[in-house]
Amino acid sequence: MPDPNSELTLTYSSVLRDKNNLRIVRVRFERMVSGKLQFAEGVVPDGIIDKSNGFSPEEVVSLEEYLKGSADEIMKKAKVISNPLKWF
């Protein structure tokens, strides 16, 4: 059972192109539980978690709901890091 006080971090890629040439952003959630790294990886704008280790099925559903609800914001932030002129 995860510690309810464990910190969950979210990282994301720049804007990428999938196999259908659609714009996507890869997202990764991580937390340390009892010294072990747990993760869930997904993609927006679809809001689908496609890899996970250590997250319950219910937690994965919650993360997918979060991704769907936050897709626009995540895409917007990823566009900033996709543009090298915005790095400085």
pLDDT in tens, 6-52: 799 999 999 999 999 999 999 999 999 999 999 999 999 999 999 99
pLDDT interval class at 86 (50, 70, 90): low
Q: Is the pLDDT of residue 88 over 90?
A: no
Residue 69 CB partners (closer than 8 Å, separation 6+)? 47
> In terms of residues, how long is the chain?
88
Q: Break the chain into its structural domains and give their ranges.
A: 9-83
Residue 42 CB partners (closer than 8 Å, separation 6+)? 26, 27, 48, 49, 50, 51, 63, 64, 67
User: How does pLDDT run across 41-75, given as a tens digit for each residue?
Assistant: 999 999 999 999 999 999 999 999 999 999 999 99
pTM of the model: 0.85
CA 53 to chain centre: 14
